[in-house]
């Protein structure tokens, strides 16, 4: 059994909040640069160039790449051989509190009915799972409202099958248009239950941009969806072009024979995600 102080978790979360807002991960930066090189629209190519300039300046000058620094979403894996000397939820929220204050990040969390800001961007959204080992793995994915508001979930009839899934995803992105600040990364969760499909869609966004699902049939669906989405012509920031999405990631889970849940979670071009292991 290994003891980990929750103070170490707080410090790590603080640092992750700041670095996620300032420094775009290499997989995302590389995908955007590749999109600029292949974009057919001159205006779309120019917009992608401005997006690149923006995230390069953010990293160089240690400032947020977007004014919407998001609600802090965490996926945390706790090893079964770890003993924590306090509450992991309290530790994460304290890290968010410190990170958003010290990093000069916008506090965007409020009461859903009263609309009163909590003042420190807490509470965070925390998903925790128990895994083998004696370490704690922390993944953060700050989520802005522009892309999050375009999320959709539908309980399809099983008979609608793959055509129904494609239609739902493509029509949802067509409706979203330029609102989620494309080029986007699309997370699709298929199966499980109502809430499981939404979690699948969000975790799909944590994958390296452009990585393929290990199931060849699912990977083929990802490729088909990416083509269909880019054929919509929405383009970078909605100004038209051949790059509406950088990637479509699909995750699946077995479901009831009478059900086919499908969830869609969209991430903007500022696909912020970081991780650390303690």
Q: What is the pLDDT along the chain (278 residues), one digit of tens a residue?
A: 899 999 999 999 999 999 999 999 999 999 999 999 999 999 999 999 999 999 999 999 999 999 999 999 999 999 999 999 999 999 999 999 999 999 999 999 999 999 999 999 999 999 999 999 999 999 999 999 999 999 999 999 999 999 999 999 999 999 999 999 999 999 999 999 999 999 999 999 999 999 999 999 999 999 999 999 999 999 999 999 999 999 999 999 999 999 999 999 999 999 999 999 99
pLDDT of 54 reads: 97
DSSP letter at 78 equals E
Report how far residue 169's alpha carbon sits from residue 262's, in angstroms, rounded to the nearest whole number.
Answer: 9
- Per the CB < 8 A criterion, the answer to whether 124 and 91 are in contact is no
Q: Which of 182, 127, 117, 122 is nearest to 150 (CA)?
A: 182
Could you tell me the domains of the chain? 2-20+65-142 (3.30.360), 145-271 (3.30.1330)
pLDDT of 19 reads: 98
| Residue 244 phi, psi dihedral angles, 5° rounding | -95, -35
Helix (H, G, I), strand (E, B), or coil: what is residue 85?
Answer: coil
pLDDT of 65 reads: 97
- Per the CB < 8 A criterion, the answer to whether 124 and 75 are in contact is no
- Per the CB < 8 A criterion, the answer to whether 188 and 223 are in contact is no
Residues 6 or more apart in contact with residue 119 via CB below 8 angstroms:
107
pLDDT of 247 reads: 98
pLDDT of 277 reads: 98
Report how far residue 28's alpha carbon sits from residue 209's, in angstroms, rounded to the nearest whole number.
Answer: 6
Residue appearing with tokens 């990416």: 226
Model confidence, pTM:
0.95
For 239-255, b where at least 16 C-beta lie within 10 A, e where not — what string?
ebbbbbbbbbbbbbeeb
């Amino acid at each position: 059994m290994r003891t980990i102080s929750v103070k170490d978790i707080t410090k790590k979360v603080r640092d992750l909040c700041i670095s996620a807002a300032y420094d775009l991960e290499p997989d995302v930066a590389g995908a955007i640069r590749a999109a600029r090189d292949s974009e057919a629209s001159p205006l779309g190519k120019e917009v992608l160039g401005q997006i690149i300039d923006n995230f390069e300046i953010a990293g160089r000058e240690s400032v947020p790449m977007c004014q919407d620094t998001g609600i802090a979403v965490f996926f945390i894996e706790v090893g079964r051989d770890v003993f924590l000397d306090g509450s992991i939820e309290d530790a994460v929220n304290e890290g968010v509190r410190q990170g958003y204050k010290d990093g000069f990040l916008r506090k965007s969390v409020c009461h859903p009915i009263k609309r009163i800001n909590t003042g420190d961007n807490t509470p965070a959204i925390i998903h925790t799972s128990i895994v083998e080992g004696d370490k704690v793995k922390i993944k953060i994915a700050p989520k802005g409202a522009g892309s999050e508001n375009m999320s959709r979930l539908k309980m399809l009839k099983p008979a609608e099958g793959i055509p129904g899934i494609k239609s739902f995803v493509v029509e949802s992105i067509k409706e979203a248009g330029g609102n989620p600040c494309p080029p986007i990364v699309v997370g699709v969760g298929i199966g499980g239950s109502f809430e499981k499909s939404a979690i699948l869609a969000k975790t799909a966004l944590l994958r390296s941009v452009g990585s393929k699902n290990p199931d060849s049939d699912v990977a083929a669906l990802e490729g088909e969806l990416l083509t269909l989405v880019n054929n919509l012509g929405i383009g970078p920031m909605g100004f038209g072009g051949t790059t509406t999405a950088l990637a479509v990631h699909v995750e699946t889970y077995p479901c009831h024979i009478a059900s086919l849940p499908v969830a869609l979670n969209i991430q903007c071009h500022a696909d912020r995600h970081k991780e650390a292991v303690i």
